[in-house]
Amino acid sequence: MSAIVESSTDSLSARGTVRRRAPDKRRVLKKRLMPWLFISPYLVLFIMFTAFPLGFSIFLSFHEWNPTSGLDGMNFVGLTHYADIITDPWLWKSLYNTVWLAIVAGVPQHLIAIPVAYLLVSVFKGALRHFYTATMFIPFITSTVAISLIFYTIYSGNSGILNQWLLALSDVPVIGALFAWVPDAMPIRWLSSSALIKPAIAFVVVWKYTGFNIVIYSAGFLTVSKDLYDAAEVDGCSAWQKFWHVALPMIRPFVFFALTLTIIGNLQLFEEPFVLTAGDSGGVAQSGLTASYYLYLAGWEWHQMGYATAVSWILFLFIAVITSVHFYFNGRKGMGGDR
């Protein structure tokens, strides 16, 4: 992936060098150090707070460890965990669920967020815009406890709001025909049948994170200069063309950024499936078990921390590969190489 990052070529120092002549040594040194100075906060914090935990967990993945036995309770087992992982049916099941949810709960977020953000930025003004943006952001700030209480109420089989709405729809004159199957299918158990739990989780994820993406995309659309729209208008562009040919290409770095976050975030999905399956090892037939959920079970519930860590590194590789593919196809434009 690093090959793509370098594409932001023309840099400050490169150009500066051309224009200045005969820089003395001190200045060259200063120039060399300057970028490091700017990124030093990240480097320092990385070394302080991230490097050790990462190293520790690599070390741990070659050991067997019940964490409640303390740090001296580790036993070296070499690559055993990694060998076990290859034939672990729950892990593969969980990876499948993870990918399924990443796609089904990921794509709609963006398909909704991009046009909504565009509308918010281009159509609405003042207080109304603040009101809309703020409300659409509410799911993102809602605590997990409230989410679980709310969605249990919505999804529950016998008296759930969703089922009652479906029943009501089947009674509506015209569209009722579309829902004629509903009364026979009742009660639909959204959270306790293996076929429905993933869609039920996916809906909650879309509901929760779309507002976040709207904010990111709003920030993006706000960078598009009004002059560009005016120019497009002079050229006779329709509103749709302005969106598609002017605004959308301009926010590419934001699409790239938001997609990267969704890919990484969704492949680590844990809280929503955990809450909606009541922590019951992934729901019926583990159809709601994601990879993060599985490593949580293995590490914190079963106290097999070494194995869980090995699973987490496999998940890490998996995410890295998928992200690299995304960087490979979208990175050149998304990271700003065409500018």
Partner 1 sequence: MIRSLPKFSTHAIMIIGVLITIFPFVWVALMSTHTRSDIYSSPPPFYVGSNLIQNYGKLLELMPFWSILWNSLYVSVMGTAGAVLFCSMCAFGFFAYDFRGKNLIFGIMIASMMVPPVLMLIPSFLTIKFLGILDTHFALWFPGVANAFGIFLIRQYMLNTINRDLLDAAKVDGASDFRIYWSVVLPLIKPALATLGIVMFIGLWNNFLGPLILISSSEKQVLTLALRSVQSIANSPWGAIMLGTFLSMVPLLLAFLFFSKQMMAGLTAGAVKG
Partner 2 sequence: MKKLIVAGVASLAILATPAVAGDVRFDGFPDLNSHLDKLIPSYSEKNPDTKVTYQMNNHGDHHKKLTTNLATGSGAGDVVAVDVGFIGSFINAGGFEDLSGADYGADALADSFVGYAWDQGKGADGKQYGIPIDIGPGVMYYRRDVLEAVGGDITAVIKDWDSYIEYGKKLKDKKVFLIADAADVAKTIVFTTVKPGEGYYFDAEGNSLITSERFVTAFSIAKQIRDEGLDGQIGAWTNEWYDGFKQGTVATQLSGAWLLGHLQNWMAPDTKGKWGASNLPNGIYGSWGGSFLAIPKQAKNKKEAWDFIKFLTTTSEAQISGLKTIGSFPVLKATYADSAFDEPIEFLAGQKARQLFAEVAQKVPAVAPKKGDLIAEDVVLNGALLEVLNDGKDIMAALKDAERLVKRRVK
Contact set for partner 2, span 49-68 (CB under 8 A): 66-68
Selected from 88, 233, 237, 330, the binder of partner 2 by CB under 8 A is 88
Q: Are 58 and 68 in contact (CB under 8 A)?
A: no
Size of interface with partner 2, in residues (CB under 8 A)? 41
Selected from 201, 202, 212, 277, the binder of partner 1 by CB under 8 A is 212
Tell me whether residue 138 is exposed, middle or buried, using C-beta atoms within 10 angstroms of its C-beta: 0 to 12, 13 to 18, 19 or more: exposed
Q: Are 157 and 190 in contact (CB under 8 A)?
A: yes
301 binds, among partner 2, partner 1, none (CB under 5 to 8 A by kind): partner 2
- Under the criterion CB under 8 A, does residue 75 sit at the interface with partner 1? no
Q: Please work out, in degrees rounded to the nearest 5, the angle formed at the alpha carbon of residue 203 by the alpha carbons of 194 and 273.
A: 55
- Percent composition of the chain: helix, strand, coil (DSSP 3-state, to 5): 75, 0, 25
Shortest CB 67 distance to partner 2, Å: 4
Selected from 40, 142, 153, 225, the binder of partner 2 by CB under 8 A is 153
Q: Are 190 and 160 in contact (CB under 8 A)?
A: yes
Binding mask 290-329 for partner 1 (x = CB under 8 A): -xx--xx--xx----x--xx--x--xx--xx--x------
- Strand ranges (DSSP E) for the chain? 63-64, 75-76
Selected from 42, 92, 181, 329, the binder of partner 1 by CB under 8 A is 42
Where do we find the tokens 């759930």? 160
Angstrom distance (rounded) from CA 190 to CA 180: 19
Judged by the rule CB under 8 A, the positions of this chain that interact with partner 2 are 66-71, 73, 84, 87-90, 152-153, 156-159, 189, 191-194, 278-286, 297-298, 300-305, 307
